[in-house]
Amino acid sequence: MPESAPALRRRSAGIAATVAVVGLLGFATESGAASVYKWVDASGVTHLSSDKPPAGVKYERVALATTRQTSAGGSATRTAATSSGTRMASASAEQTARRNEMLSSLRTRECVVALEGIDRLARGGTAVEPAEFSRLQQTADQNCSKDPAERRQQEDMAARLRVSKGDACVDARNKLADLLEPGQRPAREQLKLQQEFIEDHCTAPVR
């Protein structure tokens, strides 16, 4: 079923916003050993790791199958430990594999968003704020793959993200919204072609 015109307009207006990866988060129930930690340093660079950040750094803990827990300096709830001193259970091989997959997905997202931002600034034709460019470059360096083949895939995703946020796709989504306005009677073929163009060219590879 096609989206309503208001929904399409909201999505068009908000597509440039940073959105959390969907489907990786829920309620925290598993041990800290199976968690991924996310934090932003003083320069605004996003870090993702299976290890906790330095003491005193505010971070988010992304547990497998679960939701984020915000903490500062290690005050996150440790659901697998007790006040009697019971140690947290070690992650199983399956948990470790899932954590690594999640970590890779989160890093890819941060990498792609940073690469798209760098490309956008480079093509903008206006003065670039050095601090913002440095932040994006450091975020890319921190999260993009060092494997050449995987890095090319991330660069391709960044190019697709750039196109999906460009004027042509914004106009295409707005045109589809106009066609779906109450009282409009677009030809079925016209509606189909517009939807196919958006699906083929304007679907962002990351959210």
Residue 162's pLDDT is what?
A: 93
81 band by pLDDT with thresholds 50, 70 and 90: very low
Give dist(CA 41, CA 134) in Å, integer.
13
Residue 82's pLDDT is what?
A: 34
Mean pLDDT to the nearest integer, 121-142: 89
Tokens standing for residue 29:
């129930």
Mean pLDDT to the nearest integer, 121-129: 83
Residue 23's pLDDT is what?
A: 35
Tokens standing for residue 175:
């045109």
C-alpha R_g of the chain: 21
Mean pLDDT to the nearest integer, 42-62: 88
Q: With helix as H, strand as E and coil as C, how does 1-65 read?
A: CCCCHHHHHHHHHHCCCCCCCCCCCCCCCCCHHHEEEEEECCCCCEEEECCCCCCCCEEEEEECC
Give dist(CA 79, CA 85) in Å, integer.
12
Partners of 125 in beta bridges: none
Tokens standing for residue 174:
């707005």
Mean pLDDT of the chain: 77
Least confident piece of the model among 63-77, 94-108, 124-138, 164-178: 63-77
Tokens standing for residue 87:
């140690």
Give dist(CA 206, CA 58) in Å, integer.
25
* Residue in the block written with tokens 């189909």: 192
| Selected residue with higher pLDDT from 9 and 146 | 146
The yes-or-no verdict on residue 182 having pLDDT over 50 is yes
Report the SS3 class of residue 70.
strand
- In this structure, the strands spanning 46-49 and 35-40 are antiparallel
The yes-or-no verdict on residue 142 having pLDDT over 60 is yes
The yes-or-no verdict on residue 204 having pLDDT over 80 is yes
Residue 86's pLDDT is what?
A: 40
Residue 197's pLDDT is what?
A: 92
Give dist(CA 108, CA 146) in Å, integer.
12
The pTM for the full model equals 0.64
